[in-house]
Structure 1
Amino acid sequence: MKTTAAIVIVLLILLGFNSFYTVGEGQHVLVLQFGKILRTDRQPGLHAKVPLLQQVLMLDERVLSFDGAPQRYVTSGKQSVNVNYYVKWRIADAANYYRATSGDELQAGQRLSPIVSNALRSAVNEHTLEQLIASGQGDIITSALQQSNAETQKTLGVTVVDVRITGVEFPDDIKTAVYKRMQTERQQQAAAIRADGKQQAESIKTDAQTQAQMIRATAESEADKVRGEGDAQAAQIYAQAYAQDADFFAFYRSLQAYKKSFGDGRGTIILKPDSEFLRYFGNPAAAPARR
């Protein structure tokens, strides 16, 4: 009797423990009976159920993630690329999620992966390689999220929170062709830059030559003007000197002519003795008196 009583007590304790379950933070609990959903519980705390007949399935409501298998896509420029990515998702509808995946996270990832992959393929097809690598990833991700969630929320009961591209690589069979084309494009850009620089250099050189000619012409004009003014002043001085003493001015001019003709000591001039040029040679009386 004691053994039977002990067994009964143990069974009652086990049944008691089996009659309650606890819902933790970030958990979504499905209460099942014969595989069918009776109710869902999300309120944290202690809850009761019928022992043995009802089972409890704990689902994680936190954001989950998985790495997608590298996929080969084609850009809008018809360039094939291998894209690496990862996906973050969470359960949005626990009942729908259970019906689609039996609450198995691995099965959910297997069904989610092709949906996201197809959404990425569609988005990549609408963008260039440059946009895929750099500035256009935001648009690609937004488009992939919209397309993915349009299907996953209805068929899997999950929401795709984020899709991130972690790497973009060229397939081995087209790397050489792509690099060669990139090299050709850079060479064309370099040639265009050099041609533009040469054109600008010629323009600068022409402008400089034009400015130099204008400066030279202005300087020559100013020099002619100064020389003219100097000649005028010299003529005026000569005229004033001549007016004051014509004989002395004639004598001074003759001395200047003698200096110019015989200054180097090697000059030879053949003239008549009575030449006007020699009027002051041998005739001191002809020279003007000192005043």
Structure 2
Amino acid sequence: MARIHYVLPALFALGALALSSVFIVDEREKVLVLQFGQVKQEITEPGLGFKLPLIQDVVRYEDRILGLQSQSLEVTLRDNRRLIVDAFARWRITDAVSFREAVGAGGIDSAQSRLDPIISAAMRQVLGSVNSNAVLSEDRTGLMNAIRDIARKQSESLGVEVIDVRLTRTDLPEQNLAATYARMRAEREREAADEIARGNEAASRVKASADRAVVVTTSDARRQAEVIRGEADASRNAIYAEAFGKDPEFFAFTRSLTAYERALREGNSSIVLKPDSDFFSYLNTPNGKPAQ
């Protein structure tokens, strides 16, 4: 019984030591085995790992792609315009040993604090060599790739790889916004005035053309009307002449009646004539014939 009393605690201690020497490596991780702060083993494959209990420690790092939002940065471009720029970078740990030696126990947070100035310096270098039109255009792929390449080269010593850099904001400083908006408004107003002037000019041309067409059409219509009126007068005179030739007395009678109708119409001027005037010749004779 005494032996069992001592053996059981020993077995429990050995089991605890055995369990503490075994660890699991996830497929999303990179693992380092450290002994007194020195790297003894790097494990990149998922599965079981072993270490010396109480002597060695396990440090785990993300093997997935990580993101970094850079600090806002004021950049002076080649055309002396200033922009507030920030970017979003994606990166991953490629060499866990170099990463540990570079950042120490700070891990991911320490790495991001060292990557941020690297990306900012790359942004200053690339954006400072181009004009504002290139930065503010829709296609900035070339600029972002150049920033990525510079940041990737400068961060190799950290044991990481910069996969991608994207410009997320490119704004003017607050003190320049009002002046820029005023200039843009003036340019738009000038363009609007030019468009209005061109529209008025086009409208004047259309109106002049329409007026000319009206004059031409009206003149042609009047000419045709005069021709028709002349032809009608000629026909009428021919009919009158023919009627006068057939019955001169009846023709004279109808002409006299027409003259009476026009002269004696209400509202006409007053006419003073002798009763025996030739004008009333058809009214003075009982049979309606003019006096001889």
Shorter-chain-normalised TM-score: which range?
A: 0.7 to 0.9
Instruction: State how 1:106-117 maps to structure 2 within 5 Å.
Output: 106-117=109-120
The aligned counterpart of 1:120 is 123
1:155 alignment partner AA: S
The aligned counterpart of 1:242 is 244
- Partner SS, residue 267 of structure 1: coil
1:267 aligns with 2:271: yes
Instruction: State how 1:2-21 maps to structure 2 within 5 Å.
Output: 9=11, 12-21=14-23
Q: Tell me how far 1:194 sits from its aligned partner.
A: 3.3
Q: Tell me how far 1:107 sits from its aligned partner.
A: 2.1
Q: Tell me how far 1:44 sits from its aligned partner.
A: 2.0
Cα distance change, pair 50–265 in 1 and its aligned pair in 2 (3 A): closer
Aligned length: 284
Unaligned runs of 5+ in 1: none
Cα distance change, pair 71–259 in 1 and its aligned pair in 2 (3 A): same
The partner residue of 2:32 within 30, 33, 36 is 30
**What do the CA deviations read for 1:119-169 (whole angstroms, capped 9, x no partner)?**
33344342526953x6245554344334433443x3333233444444444
What fraction of aligned residue pairs are identical, expressed as a percent? 30
Question: Could you tell me how far apart the structure 2 residues matched to 1:146 and 1:267 are?
Answer: 114
Q: Tell me how far 1:8 sits from its aligned partner.
A: 5.4
Unaligned runs of 5+ in 2: none
The partner residue of 1:210 within 212, 224, 228 is 212
Normalised to the residue count of structure 2, the TM-score between the two structures is: 0.75
- The range that moved more, 158-167 or 73-82, is 158-167
Question: Could you tell me how far apart the structure 2 residues matched to 1:77 and 1:238 are?
Answer: 95
Contact 1:75 1:129 in 2 (8 A): no
Q: Tell me how far 1:59 sits from its aligned partner.
A: 1.1
Question: Could you tell me how far apart the structure 2 residues matched to 1:198 and 1:17 are?
Answer: 91
Question: Could you tell me how far apart the structure 2 residues matched to 1:174 and 1:42 are?
Answer: 51
The aligned counterpart of 1:88 is 90
Question: Could you tell me how far apart the structure 1 residues matched to 2:38 and 2:241 are?
Answer: 135
Question: Could you tell me how far apart the structure 2 residues matched to 1:221 and 1:142 are?
Answer: 79
Cα distance change, pair 108–285 in 1 and its aligned pair in 2 (3 A): same
Contact 1:90 1:161 in 2 (8 A): yes
Instruction: State how 1:2-81 maps to structure 2 within 5 Å.
Output: 9=11, 12-32=14-34, 37-51=39-53, 54-81=56-83
Q: Tell me how far 1:26 sits from its aligned partner.
A: 0.9
Instruction: State how 1:188-227 maps to structure 2 within 5 Å.
Output: 188-227=190-229
Normalised to the residue count of structure 1, the TM-score between the two structures is: 0.75
Question: Could you tell me how far apart the structure 2 residues matched to 1:236 and 1:49 are?
Answer: 137
The aligned counterpart of 1:228 is 230
Cα distance change, pair 9–173 in 1 and its aligned pair in 2 (3 A): same
Question: Could you tell me how far apart the structure 1 residues matched to 2:285 and 2:39 are?
Answer: 152
- Partner SS, residue 66 of structure 1: strand
Instruction: State how 1:120-199 maps to structure 2 within 5 Å.
Output: 120-125=123-128, 126-128=130-132, 132=136, 135-138=138-141, 140-152=143-155, 154-199=156-201
